[in-house]
Amino acid sequence: MSISRVVTRLGRVPLLTQVGFGKTVVDRRDFVVVDVVDASGALGRGCAYTRDLPLPALVHEVFAGAIIGLPVQEALSLPSGWLKAREFHAVDGGAIGRAAAVMELALLDLAALLEGRSVSHMLGDPGSPMTARLAAGYYRPGVGPRELGEELRAGVGQGYGGFKIMIGGASVEDDVERVRVARASVGNHPLAVDAAGSWSERVPPELLSCLEEAQVDLFEDPFPPRNVSAYAALAHHTNLRVGTGESLGDVGSFRQLLEAQALGLVRVDATVLPVTGALSEVSRLAADAGLPMFAHFFPHFHAQLSARLSDSWGVETVTPGVDGLSDLTEPVSVEGGRVVPQKNPGFGIGWHEDRLERWTVSALLA
């Protein structure tokens, strides 16, 4: 079957309260949602955060028209092929790469749907369960250390296999208290922290000592991801596992970090790096360096992509009401501390179509 229609939407999901991560505060989540429809009416869908980039327009102008009339499998090779043919680099903030990534996710969903199997099976992986790691402890009005502890203990009771909290958005003293409360609340479960690039060169020594004392198993994004020298200096100063990369849209930036021996873990996102191209190449680099990978958010996609992640560290799920995606979709299944990949055709995502319609701001049709 050939592709007959592409609908690209801008969706704007309001959050119930302001949410802080590092120095950033948001009260909504903006998505690009891409529907690719073939002549039989079968529909594949991809989505991603816009990050204030013109992704709907780029998807529509660069890729949507180019795949109309193509067989699905032929269209599937177009986004990554387009980037490679132009020797793409992330000089535009990664916008073109992100547009290619979300288009490819929609095509993967459709291709697997037409074959009657899950994306993981289509990519040659049985869909092995991966550790479910809950991103929680975001800065929110009225949420102090006591509420943080309650949130994390609830996550332990729900069976999550690991946890992450935010730091870098409060005073050093407050963040030290948050880390200590978090460690006490999750017990021996793995605990990560995410600073969302809060510092430019140096982590406050008191906080770094606290993280080492708490035996944090991942220190994520202490600096902006392209500050290679700061990451390399920290990696040689601490035994903590340091990771970054979720916002990087080109292979070269990952290569620089790995050549500098600046990382202990590679963060990636299939809504930023096209799966069949750049993400697979980064996975090979991580494997050569002997480093695990950890995918950012979007658990419905990443639970199906374990075959493309070198030594996957797990699947990241998020406290409801924080990511916006949990307002649009049914949650992933967590059993025994692991995310169980859907066996339904495609990515197997249960979408709340009524909410998607309600929060659609604009749509482009090709």
% of the chain beyond a pLDDT of 70: 97
Write out pLDDT tens, residues 268-296. Answer: 999 999 998 899 999 999 999 999 999 99
For the chain, how many structural domains are there in total? 2
Average pLDDT, the chain: 93
Residue 86 lies in a domain: yes
293 shares a domain with 265:
yes
Listed in sequence order, the DSSP H helices in 116-188 are 119-122, 145-157, 172-186
Residue 345 lies in a domain: no
Residue 43 lies in a domain: yes
Judged by average pLDDT, the poorest of 76-85, 257-266, 297-306, 310-319 is 76-85
Write out pLDDT tens, residues 159-208. Answer: 999 999 999 999 999 999 999 999 999 999 999 999 999 999 999 999 99
Write out pLDDT tens, residues 130-140. Answer: 899 999 999 99
Residue 307 lies in a domain: yes
216 shares a domain with 99:
no
100 shares a domain with 62:
yes
Mean pLDDT of 240-257: 94
Q: What was the pLDDT predicted at 129?
A: 80
Bridge partners, 10 (sequence order):
32, 362
Judged by average pLDDT, the poorest of 55-59, 174-178, 324-328 is 324-328
What does the alpha-carbon distance between residue 135 and residue 314 come to, in Å, rounded to a whole number?
12
Mean pLDDT of 302-330: 89
Q: Report residue 85's pLDDT band, with 50, 70 and 90 as the boundaries.
A: low
What does the alpha-carbon distance between residue 148 and residue 92 come to, in Å, rounded to a whole number?
37
pLDDT at 93 over 80: no
Q: Report residue 320's pLDDT band, with 50, 70 and 90 as the boundaries.
A: confident
145 shares a domain with 64:
no
Residue 76 lies in a domain: yes
250 shares a domain with 207:
yes
pLDDT at 84 over 80: no
Mean pLDDT of 115-136: 89
135 shares a domain with 103:
no
pLDDT at 307 over 80: no
Q: Report residue 321's pLDDT band, with 50, 70 and 90 as the boundaries.
A: confident
Write out pLDDT tens, residues 11-29. Answer: 999 998 899 988 899 999 9
pLDDT at 314 over 80: yes
In the chain, DSSP assigns E strands to: 3-21, 24-38, 43-49, 130-135, 162-166, 191-194, 218-220, 242-244, 265-268, 293-295, 315-318, 333-335, 338-340, 360-365
244 shares a domain with 283:
yes
User: What is the CATH classification number for the domain harbouring 309?
Assistant: 3.20.20.120
23 shares a domain with 83:
yes
Instruction: Tell me phi and psi for residue 191, to 5 degrees.
Output: -130, 125
Mean pLDDT of 297-314: 89
Mean pLDDT of 111-134: 90
| DSSP result, 24-75 | EEEEEEEEEEEEEEETT--EEEEEEE-TTS-HHHHIIIIIIHHHTTSBHHHH
User: What is the CATH classification number for the domain harbouring 102?
Assistant: 3.30.390.10
Residue 60 lies in a domain: yes
Alpha-carbon distances, residue 114 vs 93, 108, 110 (angstroms)? 34, 10, 6
Q: What was the pLDDT predicted at 306?
A: 79
Q: Which domain holds residue 302?
A: 125-340
- Report which of 256, 204, 203 is spatially closest to residue 229, judged by C-alpha positions: 256
Residue 46 lies in a domain: yes
% of the chain beyond a pLDDT of 90: 81
Token couple for 288: 């050569």
Mean pLDDT of 118-127: 86
Residue 248 lies in a domain: yes
